[in-house]
Each structure stands twice: as structure tokens, then as C-alpha cells.
Amino acid sequence: MRIGHGYDVHRLLEGRKLILGGAHIEHNKGLLGHSYADVLCHAISDALLGAAALGDIGKHFPDTDVKFKDVSSLLLLQHVVELLGSHGYGIENIDATLILQRPKVAKHILAMRENIAKACRLSVDRVSVKATTTEGLGFAGREEGVAAHAVVLIH
């Protein structure tokens, strides 16, 4: 067993789609980034790469590479899972936390878990997604950005 941790932040801007864990969420702002800027998928991808000591998503999917522009973050996650598989690693479980003030995402959590589980070829009960606000504090509280933490166990 090996453990991995991932952390990511993206800026919230008007006129962008808000996609978290592959789920499209109605909101007046979305996340800015080279790919779909799905902060949750990025944190999980980094946690998986970290657990296998295989670097980070910046190394595997550089934002200077046009190939990855507007690529679904679930697809990047799928690539990471395949990379781990090619090194003989499988995933035990994933636990992630989204940090955002608005919008409320509770009704989208199951869809996120299902999307992530599918990309990782896991059953949904091995994927946990939680969400918290920061009670108005910091960049997340000011709705300037969204953060995500993830921990994973691989075997």
C-alpha cells in the first residue's frame, strides 16, 4: 500500500463553464485553466501520481502543450490511471474535498463520484467526494477560486 496527496486551485471567472468531477454545474462563474480546469480531477490525478512517485500532472500534461488544451480533465485522470496500471499499481480508494463558497454542490456529488469512479475503473463506493465552504474566509470565501484536496491509497 502507498498513500498519495494532491492539491489544486483554479481561479473562478465569469463566462467559463463550471465543471467539477466531470459534472457540469450551473453557475455564473467557472474555472480558468488550460484544460477544463476541473480542480477536483486535477487534485485526484496529482494524488495518484504522488502515490506512485511518478511526478505530477504538470510534468505529464504540460500547459504549454496544445494537445491538452480544452481536454476533459476526466480524460487526463484516465491517462494517469493507465500510467499507474502500466507500473503495476491499482487504486484502493480515493477521498477528496472541494473547497468553495458557492454554488452549493451537494446535489452533484453522486454524479462526480460516478464520473471519477468510471475514469478510474472503480466501484463508486471506493470514491468519496466532500465539499466545504471556508465560511467566507480567504480566496475561496471571496469566490475568487476553488480548491481541492485529495488523498488516495494504491496497491
Q: Which residues bind Mg ion (CB under 5 A)?
A: 8, 42
From the CB of 81, what's the least distance to Mg ion, in Å?
A: 17
Contact 102, 27 (CB under 8 A): yes
Distances (CA, A) of 112 to 14, 21, 25, 98: 22, 4, 11, 11
> Of the two residues 56 and 143, which places its CB atom closer to Mg ion in the complex?
56
From the CB of 46, what's the least distance to Mg ion, in Å?
A: 8
From the CB of 42, what's the least distance to Mg ion, in Å?
A: 4
Rounded distance between C-alpha atoms, residue 9 and residue 146, angstroms: 6
> Of the two residues 73 and 101, which places its CB atom closer to Mg ion in the complex?
73
From the CB of 154, what's the least distance to Mg ion, in Å?
A: 21
> Of the two residues 13 and 110, which places its CB atom closer to Mg ion in the complex?
13
Select the residue whose beta carbon is closest to Mg ion and give its number. 42
Q: Which residues pair with 5 in a beta bridge?
A: 151
Contact 141, 133 (CB under 8 A): yes
What type of residue sits at position 138?
A: G
Instruction: Tell me the three-class secondary structure of 68-110, residue by residue.
Output: HCCCCHHHHHHHHHHHHHHCCCCEEEEEEEEECCCCCCHHHHH
From the CB of 129, what's the least distance to Mg ion, in Å?
A: 16
> Of the two residues 9 and 153, which places its CB atom closer to Mg ion in the complex?
9
> Of the two residues 42 and 108, which places its CB atom closer to Mg ion in the complex?
42
Pairing relationship of beta strands 91-99 and 127-132 according to DSSP bridges: parallel
